[in-house]
Structures are given as C-alpha cells and as structure tokens.
C-alpha cells in the first residue's frame, strides 16, 4: 500500500513515486494509446502525482496527459504539475520567467492539459535576465485567480532558493513550496546545499532523473555495447564514453550493480530507494517510455535500504559528489559564457 508523503508544509499528500511525462510524445513514446496505458497503470498502482512541462515535445506531453486524465475521469484524484520557462517559439518573448510569458504560457498549458487549474506550477530553470520578484509576482496573481494552486522551482541553486524566499517574505508574495532538482547515485551535489535549504525552509523536493538519465537502468555495463538513444544524441556530454567523467560513471555503475545484486535488489530499485531514503526528498520522478520501464520501477518506494548498504554507497560515491558536472541540469552563465569572465 502506498504511503503518501507531505509536500513540504502545504498539507498536500503525494505518492513517493511521481510519474514524469517527459517521454510521452515526440521525445519518446509516440503512441498516445500506449502513453495512456502507462498513465492508467501508474494511477492504478497508487501513484497520484504526475509531472510534465510545456517544453516536453513542444506541448505534446501535456496534451497526452490531459487526454488520459479526461478519458479516465481521474483528474480530481491527481496532483498535476507542469512547468514554464523553456523555448516555445521563435519569438524572443516566448520563453523565460517574465510576467508576460508566464501569463501566456499558463493559458497554453491549461488548454493542452484540458483542466481549469494546475496543482503545481514550476519555474523550470532560473532566468538571469528576470528579477525573481517579477516572477513571484506573476505566480502570485495566478494563485489568486485560481488557475494555479501552488508554485515551485526546478533546478535552482541553493542561493537562489534563499533569495526567492526572502523576496516572497519581503513583498508578501507566494513562495516556492518545493524544488525539483536532479538527484541520483551518480549526481549527489544537492546533498551539500540544495537539500539542506529545502529542509530549512520547509519545502518539498521532487527529484528528477533518479536513474541518472538511464545510467542506472542496467543498460550501461562495462564490456557491453553502448546503448543508443535520442537523449544521448541530444546531450552527448552526459553519455560520450570518450569523456573521463563518463568513464568514471561507468566504473561506478559496475560497483553499484554488484552491490545491488548482493542486496537482492535490481539496480533500478537500489537507485530509486536511495533517493527516497533522504529525509529531504518527497518524491522521485520516474520517466518510463514503455510499460516495461514502468513495471521495473514500481514498488521501489517499498524498498528500505539498510545502513550497511547506504554506507557502501557512500564509499563508492561520496556524499555531495556529482561525477559529471554536465549532469547538474543547469550551470550559471558565469560558468558557461567565457565573455562574462574575461571582460
């Protein structure tokens, strides 16, 4: 039986496994019928939390989720989350965290999702060009209009989470009730700062890519043929095995696979159970492309890792360490734009 968890201090109860919809549509599963079957199976298993974003397959993911919920008549029982920020058109204002774009994007998401309200509306990434008070002000108005119930952030560094909370308190604005950061056995950087901030401010944490983009699915093993995928082609810095950081990931995965076998677990269940064990984590987002993927991940929330297993994990990947900086999800312009360092 699913043991639902509190999303921060909102009083909202969500399942430990959150169904991520990124792979529904052009980025993954093209069949609307198969995607719908996966959604219905997840709901039948006790999952009550679905996360998507406008940018996933340029809105197609939202449309598939909306149709599935309309078909099943289960919208009322689902905590539905989506995001805004990504590029949704050629115009310079069809992206980002401005009031203008947020107001347009939320209407587009509501239409695609076929719903009158979004339970959790998240800012997908920071926007250095937009004052956080502008963003929070727009989100506050959406909450007051009843179009959005709660607001959150995704892949924000710790200092920007603190800044957002201070701005909300100072201006009487809605605060981020949760953060959605990357977290896995290979990507533990948030343990150093983001998760402590989340806990201090009473936020929830919905972690994405707990299988490290497929690295912890069991497909990446030493001596095996390197898997090919759209994701690997889209973001080669996370998968190119000619890079030392990815070679290190492969070595670590091999050690973790042995540990999982010794513990009587699949590598997938070990990986998911690890993220859910941290007291600052509310839910882990699973992003199945196929029914087989989903079935292999269900039940991981019932796995309880022993302290001995957790200690072994810490020996293999020390706390707070991210093996490949490219897996951190977002890097500030000060690091990615050489011009900002050399003016």
Instruction: Give the residue numbers marked as catalytic.
Output: 56
Angle at which helices 32-44 and 60-72 cross, to 10°:
60
* Bridge partner residues of 79 (DSSP): 49
Q: Bin 114: left if φ > 0, else alpha if -120 < ψ < 50, else beta.
A: left
Alpha-carbon gap, residue 98 to 80, rounded angstroms: 23
The residues, ordered by sequence, that sit 6+ positions from 83 with a Cβ below 8 Å of its Cβ are 52, 53, 54, 55, 121, 122, 123, 124, 154
- Residue 132 three-state SS: helix
Alpha-carbon gap, residue 208 to 95, rounded angstroms: 21
Alpha-carbon gap, residue 77 to 58, rounded angstroms: 26
- Residue 139 three-state SS: helix
User: Is-contact 17 287, C-beta < 8 A?
Assistant: no
């Amino acid at each position: 039986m699913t043991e639902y968890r509190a999303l921060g201090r909102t009083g909202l109860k969500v399942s430990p496994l959150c169904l991520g919809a990124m792979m529904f549509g052009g980025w993954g599963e093209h069949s609307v019928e198969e995607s719908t079957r996966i959604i219905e199976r997840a709901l039948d298993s006790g999952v009550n939390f679905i996360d998507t974003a406008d940018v996933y397959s340029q809105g197609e993911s939202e449309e598939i989720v909306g149709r599935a919920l309309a078909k099943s008549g289960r919208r009322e029982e689902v905590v539905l989350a989506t995001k805004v920020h990504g590029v949704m058109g050629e115009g310079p204002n069809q992206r980002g965290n401005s009031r203008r774009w947020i107001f347009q994007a939320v209407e587009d998401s509501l239409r695609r999702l076929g719903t009158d309200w979004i339970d959790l509306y998240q800012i997908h990434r920071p926007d250095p060009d937009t004052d956080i008070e502008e963003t929070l002000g727009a989100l506050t108005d959406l909450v007051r209009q009843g179009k959005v119930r709660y607001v959150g952030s995704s892949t924000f560094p710790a200092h920007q989470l603190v800044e957002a909370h201070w701005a909300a308190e100072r201006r009487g604005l809605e605060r981020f009730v949760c953060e959605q950061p990357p977290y896995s056995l290979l990507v533990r950087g948030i343990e150093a700062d983001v998760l402590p901030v989340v806990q201090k401010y009473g936020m929830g944490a919905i972690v994405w890519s707990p299988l490290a983009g497929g690295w912890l699915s069991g497909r990446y093993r030493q001596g095996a043929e390197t898997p090919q995928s759209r994701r690997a082609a889209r973001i080669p810095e996370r998968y190119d095995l000619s890079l030392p950081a990815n070679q290190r990931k492969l070595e670590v995965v091999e050690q973790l696979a042995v540990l999982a076998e010794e513990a009587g677990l699949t590598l997938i269940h070990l990986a998911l159970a690890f993220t859910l064990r941290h007291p600052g984590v509310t839910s882990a987002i699973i992003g199945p492309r196929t029914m087989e993927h989903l079935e292999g991940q269900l039940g991981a929330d019932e796995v309880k890792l022993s302290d001995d297993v957790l200690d072994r994990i810490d020996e293999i990947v020390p706390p707070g360490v991210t093996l490949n900086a490219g897996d951190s999800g977002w890097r500030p312009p000060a690091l990615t734009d050489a011009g900002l360092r050399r003016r």
